[in-house]
Amino acid sequence: MVSEPVSGTLGLLVVGGLVVASLVTLAAGYRVVRGPTTPDRVVALDVIGTNVVAIALLFALVTGQGLFVDVSLVLAIIGFISTVAVARYVTEGDIIE
Amino acid sequence: MSSETDTTVIARTVVRVVVPIILLTAVALLLQGHNLPGGGFIAGVLTVTAFALVYIVFGREFLQRSLLHVEEDGFLGGAIGEYGRTFTFGLALAASAGVGSIVLGELLDDGQFEFLTQGVVFVYHVPVYHEIEIPTALFFDLGVYFVVVGALLTILAVVGRE
């Protein structure tokens, strides 16, 4: 699953996307540290998870290696279930009834 | 089912769609685990993730009574006992994965195979998947898979009971 790395204009766009996703992750990290309430922190952590998924996918494009797509797939699944669990904890108080 | 703590229709529908996809990803990672990222551990974790989604959204009663068909009872019976037996089966499978080559060498009668001798079988013309590679390392991966599934589901069920 190794293919040619992207180059040219698309390559520049992908690197730009990597920079933007990294900056958004840093901004969300600030919200995780400062966030006054628990839902703020939860949403910021979810944003970080989604951005790491995006970074893994863009990195798969940069390096041309398909195995990073698996990384992003598994990260997306784990991020989804953690969001569901925390949402249930915030609203109900317990996770498994 | 009490209407007070019920989850929404959106959550139930999404989980109904997502759980088969998670299980399919787990099987794919298990089958490619010997020469690409993946393997028994992450496949087991993803399977437990699917179970945990059903636990969270549909509740403990639904999973254990309607899906697994086990009756609720004591600490080591019921669903927790089943998870414990899964753990034991996986541990036995992983431990005996290396011994299989010795037994096979005795049976085939063409010289003694060493402990942990490897082999691989290719299965061609499988629909959709095209080509499946079955190495002897897959049995160790299957053992790790059952150990992880059993251990994590035991933790989930015991903690969820309290």
Q: Tens digit of pLDDT for each residue in A38-96? A: 888 989 999 999 999 999 999 999 888 888 998 999 999 999 999 888 888 888 777 77
B1 pLDDT band, cuts 50/70/90, is very low
Determine, yes or no, domain membership for A46: yes
> How many angstroms separate the CA of residue A49 from the nearest CA in chain B?
16
Question: Is position A34 within any domain?
Answer: yes
User: What is residue A16's predicted lDDT score, i.e. its pLDDT?
Assistant: 94
Q: What is the pLDDT of residue A55?
A: 95
Mean pLDDT of the B28-56 span: 88
Size of interface A-B (CB pairs under 8 A): 44
Residue of B nearest to A93 (CA): B5
Domain count, chain A: 1
Residue A97 lies in a domain: no
Q: Is residue A1 assigned to a domain?
A: no
pTM of the model: 0.84
The domain in which residue A68 lies consists of 8-92
Give the helix ranges, DSSP H, for chain A: 8-34, 38-63, 67-92
CB contact under 8 A, B56 and A84: yes
* Identity of residue B155: I
If DSSP codes are grouped into helix, strand and coil, which group holds residue B143? helix
What confidence score (pLDDT) does residue B109 get? 64
**Residue A63 belongs to a domain:** yes
Q: Looking at residue B76, what is its pLDDT?
A: 67
Tell me the shortest Cα–Cα distance from A56 to chain B, in angstroms.
14
- pLDDT of B63-72, one tens digit each? 777 777 777 6
Name the closest residue on chain A to residue B1, using Cα atoms: A97
Q: Mean pLDDT, chain B, as a whole number?
A: 83
- Complex ipTM value: 0.81
Extended beta strands in chain B, E state: 120-126, 130-135
